[in-house]
Amino acid sequence: MNATLNREEYEAVICRGQPDEYPKNTEQAATELRTRGYDARPQSLDYLIRKGEVAPDREGRNYEWQPEDVDQAADSLAAEEAFTSRTWCNIELGISAAQRIRALREAVWGAINEFEAEVPESEDWFVMHVHTPRMSRDGWVEFTLADDMRAALETRRGELRSYNRIMLPDEKAWRRKQARKQKGSRQ
């Protein structure tokens, strides 16, 4: 069970298999670390540099953070137990950060398919069901659409069908690919 996202999980889950852009400035490195579950701010990264725990290259006055620099900062922050509140929740519940994100996305796509409407990737719209760790099995979570959100989507179902719905980037790419396939088969 990994309560934070390691490099591989970050690239797979957050970047969705696409390479992230490096080098990053200090603000971007801090944002990546917060996304991965560490309580990082530019000031805390500057402090790690001053302590000599991380040594990213410099271009003039600006630091250029490479993946290994960000990972080194993550190790230092983990040693200091500098985690976000969500990470502390993951630790307390015994669940994986990557599994939590994947479960939420699965629930979002289920709601999108059911209601043909835009549903944000936000835990505020869902109820999290926690299955705590037992014996040698890690804990895991699943999400279901909250009753009040379901009722609101049901009420608006007719309205939503009359508008072009907003699609998530993955869905847009998939639909364009399908349209190109159909266009190619017609020719």
- Locate the domains of the chain by residue range: 7-84, 94-186
Which residue's structure tokens are 């969500």? 86
**What average pLDDT values come out for the chain (187 residues) when binned by 10 residues?**
93 92 97 97 97 95 96 97 97 95 96 90 96 90 96 76 54 69 64
- pLDDT confidence of residue 177: 72
- pLDDT confidence of residue 172: 62
134 bridge partner residues: 137
* Rounded-to-integer distance, Cα 126 and Cα 96, Å: 18
Does the pTM surpass 0.75? The reply is yes
- pLDDT confidence of residue 13: 93
- pLDDT confidence of residue 158: 60
Q: Compute how many other C-beta atoms are within 10 angstroms of the C-beta atom of residue 76.
A: 19
Half-sphere exposure of 53 (CA within 13 A, CB side): 17
- Cα-based distances in Å from 180 to 33, 132, 183: 38, 45, 5
Q: Are strands 62-64 and 57-59 parallel, antiparallel or unpaired?
A: antiparallel
* Rounded-to-integer distance, Cα 139 and Cα 125, Å: 22
* Rounded-to-integer distance, Cα 134 and Cα 126, Å: 24
Q: Is 20 in contact with 70 (CB distance < 8 Å)?
A: no
Q: Is 131 in contact with 140 (CB distance < 8 Å)?
A: yes
The encoded tokens of residue 176 equal: 């364009």
- pLDDT confidence of residue 135: 87
